Structure 1
């Protein structure tokens, strides 16, 4: 029992904290009819549907196949670094930053071991993590808090993209320059003569139990499933854009997976949805406590962008988005602040912990060195992008 409690605290720390503060707020503000207005249902339905579809893609190995296909064209160390960093940068725009890192960081470590380039692992994983975090900030579906803030603010998708595009472009340029100057254009012959399928067989990337089926199963079933899952992804995009009813989106996604792959439901991060529910309850109750509301809203409205950035460094950007949005409607500043606030400390974006755990598992003696590299590069990106935001906004 004790081990289960410790495991829950380690694996679902944010959920446990959210549940505790929600429970305390329920004691201060006893449940009543107003509670029904706390829950932002659209956020939960959109996020849940997207997570199911992305999990479906994971289970048929689509993302590893894309990575292997790109690697088959690599001929230099610099080219390898650019490919590995580009994978989470671009994929996170559509599958979220945490899924991109869960998929590609173990894959990258296995590739570097295979190529005899483990000495570059810490820097490449750092740049991959940065890539996932700055890539995901571009789109409303790139991370959970973007989906929530878009739904709350009712900001059109085009306006959201235009808001975040300059920062994503500058970050992409910085990543490119980091790869260009940090890695030599040394010839790499490890993947010569190998096609994508051979690379997939050669790279023994760690797989979560039940998430990635055996290669034979992927080959046999991926064709028709890819087509169906792409259609489901389109349905989710239509739902996020409010071009179809939310219940239609949920019904189509759930029924399809009940038919195609029921095990998807076992691997969706339901804890994230429960975390959102707990924070919705806490923030809804907090707004009804005059002293607390006046204090927090006063602090937030002094400078919502900087407040969001600083708050993210301590409690991470998803809880910050939920908290700050309850006390301010400066949506542009909140969206910018929580996205840029995902850079900086290791906990600024909870997705960054995925990379940290992967590095510590493979190189336990190098966690201190990784933290130094990670923090240095993150602070560089944070200072540049926040400075840019202060000039533009």
Structure 2
């Protein structure tokens, strides 16, 4: 569900069961926290006055669902990624070529430049030796803290070349998605869409967002100190 997970899963050649074993404790705790937090939200009816009704073509919905299954099979290493591209790109172009105009190419370019930057930095002996010495001992906290500044996806790309144990890095960048709004690209994207809505209250949103994120982060970091093998 997150780019950093897909990247780590692929980069470190995780087995699917091993990946789930590492991430499940954090997922389970976050699920409970979300359930408790949303339990106290006002349950009054929400009335939305919409003039335009969105109609989803059934045939296109079925087609994209099948393509989604192919993508999942690629993640599970059942289908090769090159075969997936040969299927996915032509079908999307034929069925709805306008989708290619809606892609966030700036975000994709950011990832490309991050890979280039990290690749070049890792070639410097001084940088690599310091990074290996520092990161390899504190993957969890380095990834968590760096995520708060540059977001967890860039943090993952930057630290993956220097870590000796991918498990704490995997947990660290996922937990690191909590905290500041910068910590997760998904949070930034959702905030960008929120501010476009009529009547949006950006400061109120940020206040609520930060309050709950910091609480969740505190719980997970505390659990890490108590059960370091699982969190």
The TM-score normalised by the length of structure 2 is: 0.89
Structure 1: segments with no counterpart, 5+ residues: 1-141, 192-198, 206-213
Candidates 274, 277, 297, aligned match of 2:109: 274
Written as runs of structure 1 = structure 2, the 5 A alignment for 1:255-334 is 255-334=90-169
SS in 2 for 1:351: helix
Query: CA offset at residue 325 of structure 1?
Result: 0.2
Show structure 1 runs of 4+ deviating over 4 A.
none
- Counterpart residue number, 2:66: 231
- Counterpart residue number, 1:173: 32
Structure 2: segments with no counterpart, 5+ residues: none
Query: CA offset at residue 290 of structure 1?
Result: 0.8
- Counterpart residue number, 2:224: 389
The root-mean-square deviation of aligned C-alpha atoms, in Å, is 2.2
Contact 2:26 2:220 in 1 (8 A): yes
The TM-score normalised by the length of structure 1 is: 0.54
Query: CA offset at residue 301 of structure 1?
Result: 1.6
- Counterpart residue number, 1:130: none
Higher helix share: 1
Cα 1:302–1:287 shift into 2, 3 Å: same
Q: How many residues align?
A: 227
- Counterpart residue number, 1:162: 21
CA distance in 1, matches of 2:175, 2:66: 32
Candidates 54, 78, 87, aligned match of 1:243: 78
SS in 2 for 1:302: coil
Query: CA offset at residue 204 of structure 1?
Result: 5.4
CA distance in 1, matches of 2:76, 2:193: 35
Query: CA offset at residue 358 of structure 1?
Result: 4.0
Query: CA offset at residue 273 of structure 1?
Result: 2.5
- Counterpart residue number, 2:50: 203
SS in 2 for 1:165: helix
CA distance in 1, matches of 2:93, 2:27: 37
Using CA pairs under 8 Å that are at least 6 residues apart, name the structure with larger relative contact order, 1 or 2: 1
Query: CA offset at residue 359 of structure 1?
Result: 4.2
Residues 68-121 of structure 1 show CA distances to partners (whole Å, capped at 9, x for unaligned) of xxxxxxxxxxxxxxxxxxxxxxxxxxxxxxxxxxxxxxxxxxxxxxxxxxxxxx
Cα 1:203–1:372 shift into 2, 3 Å: same
CA distance in 2, matches of 1:271, 1:355: 17
